[in-house]
Chain A
Amino acid sequence: MNMVVNEWRRSHDRRFAAVLIFALAALSAIPLIALYHAFSPKPDRAPDFTLTDQDGQPFTLSSLQGHPVALFFGYTHCPDACPTALAKLTRVIHSADAPPGIRVVFVTVDRARDTPAVLKRYVRLFDPAIVGVTGSQKALDPVYAAYHAWYMAVPVNHGPNDYSVAHGTRIYYVARDGSMKGFGDYADAPAQMIRAFKEFQ
């Protein structure tokens, strides 16, 4: 009799344990899913970041909410692509056809040379609506990763501190509400950029 009870109890315990484990797993999944949703950025959100602007002040992308924003990754020693992009964006900023209040964020891919002071002299060449940002490698790396911004230093022959940086040429359009609905390229004509600013609102 005792043996039968023990047998029953053992198999009952096993079944209970299995149900308990299953229930716990199911219950713990609920907060896990909630956590996932809380911490994974919304799919159409421009990944936010805080870096350092050309005046050495903290700069947070989301502080530009309310403005149509174009984001570009480049470096001040770039002779061709970066000034071409910023010159066109400057023309766009001042175009009567473009939406008002445009801001441009130029994120350096060359923090070794692009100090805030260097960025300040550089962005001043173009327009006050362009902010140049840099930061520690630790602060910049997640930004490059979040935007899939490619770059690679390429040595040239004039000395150890002389190199060019190959980099992605995408222009990221961030709408007034902080969402990001599309991309352009540095090679786009100013008229295409204006269309993108409107289309990606």
Chain B
Amino acid sequence: MKRTLFSSVLFAATVAGANAAAAPIHVSDAWSRPATGTAVVYATIHNDSAEPDRLIGATSPVATHADLHESSETKMPAMSMSSGSMGNMPMSGSMMSMKTLTAIPVPAGGTTSLKPGGYHVMLDLRHDLKAGETVPLRLHFAHAGWIAVTATVRPIR
């Protein structure tokens, strides 16, 4: 309850503070998927300014938490399995893990993509997301401040 109140207050405060028109940061193609419990937000972030910036936080009224993440794939060493349940098949593979980040860099005059298998915002949902729904978000940048973004929940197919 306290947490809900806190994020609501934070959300209200950031709505008042956002000045997207003047910001050198442009966020486009923000999207999500139908989800229950946990959701993701991907987007393209462009930095028009001559200064590098960093995405340092996010908040959304649909979520109790929003975390900045990076998925990283680690190649697992090939195991030699000459017999057993998997026969003679090569057993190399990948392991996917997530890093919680304090910042996602956006280079000066450059673009950072939040996309499957890389950077993303993870939302701990208050309610399920359905295709066609929109998700309001505030993205917090170290220099550009708070930017209002609307993510579209895209259908699976």
Contact = CB atoms under 8 A, between A and B. Distances in A.
A43 B87 contact: yes
Contacts, number: 117
A164 to B, nearest CB: 5
A28 interface: no
B156 A41 contact: no
Contact of B89 (A118, A183, A186): A183
A42 B37 CA distance: 40
B149 interface: no
B112 interface: no
B95 A83 contact: no
Size class of B's contact patch?
A: 35 or more
Interface string A45-86: 101000000000000000000000000000011111101100
Interface in B113-150: 116-117, 120, 122-124, 128
B50 interface: no
A182 interface: yes
B128 A182 contact: no
Given A80-B40, A81-B117, A84-B116, A183 B93 contact: yes
Given A84-B116, A154-B97, A148 B36 contact: no
Contacts of B124: 158
A187 B36 contact: no
Given A81-B71, A154-B98, A166-B96, A125 B157 contact: no
Interface stretch (B7-15, B19-27, B54-62, B78-86): B78-86
Interface string A157-176: 11000001011111000000
B105 interface: no
A177 interface: no
B156 A76 contact: no
Contact of B93 (A41, A94, A122, A168): A168
Contact of B94 (A40, A47, A152, A185): A185
Nearest to A187: B117
Contacts of A183: 89, 93
A164 B98 contact: yes
A134 interface: no
B69 A158 contact: no
B40 A79 contact: yes
B51 interface: no
Nearest to B130: A125
Interface of B: 33-40, 65, 67, 69, 71, 73, 76, 79, 81, 83-89, 91, 93-98, 100, 116-117, 120, 122-124, 128, 156-157
Interface of A: 40-45, 47, 76-81, 83-84, 87, 90-91, 94, 118, 121-122, 125-127, 146-148, 150, 152, 154, 156-158, 164, 166-170, 180, 182-183, 185-187
22 contacts: A47-B86, A76-B38, A77-B37, A77-B38, A79-B40, A80-B96, A80-B117, A80-B120, A81-B71, A81-B117, A83-B33, A84-B116, A87-B33, A94-B157, A118-B36, A125-B33, A125-B35, A150-B93, A154-B98, A157-B100, A166-B98, A185-B94
